[in-house]
Amino acid sequence: MTGLDKIIEEIRAESAENTEKIIAQANEKAQEIISEAEQKGQKQSEQIIKNAEKKAEDIINRGESSANLEQNRALLVAKQQVINEMLSKTLSYMESLDDEQYFSLILKLAEKNSQEEKGEIAFSKKDLDRLPKNFIEKINAVSKGELTISKAPVKINSGFILIYGGIEENCSFEAMFRSKHEELTDEISALLFSD
C-alpha cells in the first residue's frame, strides 16, 4: 500500500471512529433530552390532573352550595305558603263567627281603637243589616269617646271604619291583618317551625 493509501485509510479509520463517537454522543444527548422531556411531561401531567381534580372539587362544592341554597329557598317559600294559608283561614274563621261572637269581637276592637273624641263608626251593608239592638250603647260603653253609627255602608267584608273629623281609621279585619302581617307571621312561624 502506498503512503497515500495508508494516509487515506488512517483518515477513514479516524473518521469512522469520530463518526461513531459523534453518533454515540448524539444518542446519549438524545436519550437525555427524551428523559428530561418524559420527566417534564410527567410533572405537567400530574399538575394537569391536580388542577382538574381541584376544578372538579370546586364544581361539586358550588353545586352542593347551590343545591342547599335552593333547598332553603324552597323551604322558606313552603313555610310562607303555610303561614299565609293559616292567616287566610283565621281571617275566614273570624268573618264567619256567629253574630254574638262577631259583635263581641267588634266591641273589643272598638274599645282598643277608639279615640277620646266624637266620631262615627261605619259598617258594611251586611253588618248594618244584622247589628244587634242597642249596639251603639254597647259600643259607647267601651269606647274612649262618643260614637254614632254611620248610615252609609262601607265597602269592607268585616270589621268597621272609625271616622274622626273626616279622617278614617280602617279597622276592617283585612286591614288589621295587613298591618300586623309581619308580627303575625313571626308568631305563627315560631309556633309551627321552632326547632
Give the CA count within 13 Å in the CB-facing half-sphere of 152.
6
pLDDT at 108 over 90: yes
Q: Over the stretch 14-65, which tens digit does the pLDDT of each residue have?
A: 777 777 887 778 788 878 877 887 888 788 888 888 887 888 788 888 888 8
Residue scoring higher pLDDT (69 or 138): 138
Cα dihedral 109, 111, 115, 118, rounded to 10, equals 100
Predicted confidence at residue 90, as pLDDT, reads: 83
Statement: residue 193 has pLDDT above 80:
no
The answer to whether residues 171 and 161 touch, using CB atoms and an 8 Å cutoff, is yes
Confidence tier at 195 by pLDDT (50, 70, 90): low
Is 131:123 a contact under the CB 8 Å cutoff? yes
d(CA 171, CA 178): 11
pLDDT grade for 140, boundaries at 50, 70 and 90? very high
